Amino acid sequence: MGLLEGKTALVTGGGSGIGLAGAVRLAAEGAHVFVTGRRKAELDAAVEVIGPGSATAVTGDISDLADLDRLYETIRSRGSGLDVLFANASVAAFATLEQMTEEHFDALFDINVRGTLFTVQKALPLLNDGASVILNGSTNVDVGAEAFGVYAASKAATRSFARTWANELKGRGIRVNTITPGPTDTPGLSGLAPDPEQAAGLRQGLAAQVPLGRLGRPEEIAAAVAFLASGQSSFITGSSLYVDGGLNQI
Ligand SMILES: NC(=O)c1ccc[n+]([C@@H]2O[C@H](COP(=O)([O-])OP(=O)(O)OC[C@H]3O[C@@H](n4cnc5c(N)ncnc54)[C@H](OP(=O)(O)O)[C@@H]3O)[C@@H](O)[C@H]2O)c1
């Protein structure tokens, strides 16, 4: 028996990286997993990887409230509510304070903060009592990495949301936690660099800062997501679980 037999889960940004690994793991633990993201081809491929009987893809943008309504209507029509919500979708980009533009700020806050907020708000009627909500954070909230100010601030907002929502939803037995990955080898991380050569340099530089001497693997973050999603973490709420190879700990 898996940890999530008979449960229903949603993973935003489930088409790649940590979201895809999370979806694979939640399905392996027995959940039926809905995945959403903007690119249909990635989502269709993800469903093949997760297992077509265990996954449903719904194309959409979490910063578009009509898309969220359509997503939740699809989940509602399955008739089992929602037991696990992994609000994982985010975007990242570099810009120093001096380079900052309105577009940079709006793009990151629209998706990472506003999108995450309405992803969870619009899930409320569907969330079953005892559900687990997991927000994807970042080790960047604790440090001042150059040119990552808006991304870090958006993730600090996410961390704060988890505390407030854990308080507001405790009466329904719904737990809300943040997962806090360190640098993890995903398309999103490599995509921060303008070309493959610089991406390799970025990955190498980040790995060298991690006490365990390497980047995280998406599956390692997914294992912690499965823990937070399941009853194994029944006394944990409002918390942040670091999966960072010791980066922010030592
Ligand atoms: N990789 C790391 O080192 C690292 C470290 C700490 C935290 N994180 C966090 O982990 C999460 C996943 O990142 P990742 O590294 O796995 O990156 P990724 O491979 O780029 O995955 C991000 C996913 O989010 C989806 N997405 C982005 N904007 C969206 C939107 N508006 N609506 C719906 N889906 C959207 C993307 O799909 P579409 O483009 O198709 O929409 C993509 O599938 C993010 O929250 C990130 O901040 C990553």
Give me the active site residues, please. 151
| Contact assessment for residue 16 and residue 41, using Cβ atoms and an 8 Å cutoff | no
> What atom in ligand 1 is closest to the CA of residue 15?
43
- Picking from 112, 103, 106, 37, the residue whose alpha carbon sits closest to that of residue 67 is 37
**pLDDT for 150:** 98
- Pairing verdict, β 82-87 and 8-12: parallel
Q: Phi and psi dihedrals of 197, rounded to 5?
A: -65, -45
Nearest CA to ligand 1 atom 16: 17
Q: How far is the CA of 171 from the centre of ligand 1 (A)?
A: 31
- Residues lining ligand 1, judged by CB closer than 6 Å? 12-13, 15-19, 36-39, 42, 61-63, 88-92, 111, 115, 136, 138, 181, 183-184, 186-189
| Contact assessment for residue 116 and residue 59, using Cβ atoms and an 8 Å cutoff | no
Q: In DSSP terms, which residues pair with 134 in a beta bridge?
A: 86, 177
**pLDDT for 1:** 85
Query: Which of the listed residues 10, 11, 12, 18 should we mutate to test ligand 1's pocket, taking the one with most ligand atoms within 8 A of CB?
Result: 18
**Residue-level pLDDT, tens digit, the chain, 250 residues:** 899 999 999 999 999 999 999 999 999 999 999 999 999 999 999 999 999 899 999 999 999 999 999 999 999 999 999 999 999 999 999 999 999 999 999 999 999 999 999 999 999 999 999 999 999 999 999 999 999 999 999 999 999 999 999 999 999 999 999 999 999 999 999 999 999 999 999 999 999 999 999 999 999 999 999 999 999 999 999 999 999 999 999 9
